[in-house]
Chain A
């Protein structure tokens, strides 16, 4: 059975230079999809909604796909209905996206809305994927490098975390060779994208005072309940005793728990 994977790619912006580039999350999603093609023989479709002449799209082409589908869209129009209509017609088994855009409001809402429109389940922040016949095993990235295993029935929408493997380099010749296929979605409603008043970001406000006070109360409680253990010092102990002290310290704080097993 041929498995079709759709990857939604967008034009990103470099966080420092603000130049247009491959969006990091989208490039990781494309990388993940390319690996799936190599491993399972899946059929890949990269999809972008916007201007087909955008030079950044060539960076995605340079990663290895034969073609990139561009749903033509004038600037200022909402991409969501167009992508949604296109995917509802194509109905791929797996839709991969980044977690959020790198320019614009960056709400991260698009994969959820698409999943709702397609009637697929959605799994977010994934760092790896394995495919079965009727289901996908997805590895969700959590803080501290932890991973959670999730099983979702296919078809599924998944958004890729920044903890996923980094994307391959874009090759110039391949980027030149790949086709950019323009596709029109005639029956999609042309809706103007919502406009918000925008201003340069202001510095993050410090945490409000009431909350600081709450945190302070917690600190005071900690002082009250636990005698100050900072700066415990062991001198002239036998190495075995010292090792025992270290181990007790680690065990007391829950480092040597069984669920941290490799």
Chain B
């Protein structure tokens, strides 16, 4: 959706406080100076950081002027026409990209009916105002661990209190998708699932095994797909806390906690930590021991699989598995282009190789020039020591 500054201004004027209604002159030089990041080869400016009073005063002084200070005042919606409830997962105290999609979709629905967004969270989450939340309702303390029934009851209580026009969830398997469907079945309503776009009151949901789009009128409950949200405009919202209603349910599902990961049953593409070996490994028994000690999945280059040291399904690369681990430890792998394709989505790579000019050393976050086999042995000794101490 295109931003229309004029409409935004008209919309905002009666709502902002009188101080902010006085238009202040922007000082682009000062903003640039404030946002300038650490010196480097590439010019990077962080324009997100609002100018502080000190910054502005300093820049004004430096230029011998006394310019008015720009102050970022959140847009306050005092008396909205309706409420739109957004229920992000926010699992570790921050909004994921999928959560932002849900916020964006809620924002779009609220803007189309002159409403305000209430974000419902189950633990403290920061910067909800910047993510388009006019109000925040927080249910905490009772929601420890996986408690879908209690959470559904909380959402139902919020719906009961606020009577929102729409409720938006991120559609995933065990978070918002589960919660939204629970709420829908309790209300006896049919939600829009896998929603991709909301346009003119109609919603496009993705279905038929990914082959078709279905168009229907926007129901009360909307579950949005990842990457499908509307635009969260850069207007800062208030994020005022609302009082949460009391929730009491007798849960029939109890959380027994996370289970230890069984590495043999996890597909390589899903593994979180991978230890990978190539031509530089002499003693494969020690390699297997290291993988066990680090609780990591085993992978290998084509060379290792061709030589029969690892089964073929453990091959990583363009002709094997494309992996996306958080950590990838490449031991004695030079980094053929096909292998580097396979680890393109790895978050962090540690490489050990005798050749300092090997391609993998350029890709690595930590590159160690040395013999992989002796470093494996040293690592095993060190891990044994650590375990003895603990």
Contact = CB atoms under 8 A, between A and B. Distances in A.
A208 B350 contact: no
Interface in B145-164: 146, 149
B341 interface: no
Q: Interface of chain A, helix or strand or loop or mixed?
A: mixed
A43 to B, nearest CB: 23
A197 B178 contact: no
B137 interface: no
B338 interface: no
Contacts of B62: none
B207 A239 contact: no
B295 A261 contact: yes
B218 interface: no
Contacts of B257: 148-149
B368 A104 contact: no
Nearest to A103: B208
Contact of B44 (A18, A202, A223, A247): A223
Given A148-B146, A239-B375, A207 B327 contact: no
A204 B261 contact: no
Interface stretch (A58-66, A88-96, A137-145, A171-179): A137-145
Interface string A217-257: 10011011001111111111101101111110110010110
A201 B370 contact: no
A73 to B, nearest CB: 19
B364 A231 contact: yes
B252 to A, nearest CB: 4
Nearest to B329: A246
Interface in B183-226: 184-186, 188, 190-191, 193-194, 196-197, 205-216
A202 B356 CA distance: 47
Given A140-B174, A201-B206, A247 B383 contact: yes
B236 to A, nearest CB: 12
Interface in A120-168: 121-125, 137, 139-153, 161
Contacts of B58: none
Given A220-B44, A234-B370, 15 more contacts: A12-B209, A115-B185, A116-B185, A116-B188, A139-B259, A140-B146, A145-B266, A150-B256, A201-B208, A208-B230, A221-B46, A233-B368, A239-B371, A242-B375, A255-B326
What 9 pairs between A and B have smallest CB-CB spacing?
A: A145-B266, A149-B256, A243-B378, A210-B231, A112-B185, A121-B252, A239-B378, A196-B214, A106-B207
Interface of A: 12-13, 15, 18, 99, 102-109, 112-113, 115-116, 121-125, 137, 139-153, 161, 194, 196-202, 204-211, 213-215, 217, 220-221, 223-224, 227-237, 239-240, 242-247, 249-250, 253, 255-256, 259-262
25 contacts: A15-B209, A107-B194, A108-B193, A112-B181, A112-B182, A115-B185, A116-B186, A141-B173, A144-B271, A150-B255, A201-B206, A204-B196, A208-B104, A208-B231, A210-B232, A211-B100, A220-B46, A231-B367, A233-B366, A234-B369, A235-B356, A242-B352, A246-B375, A253-B327, A262-B263
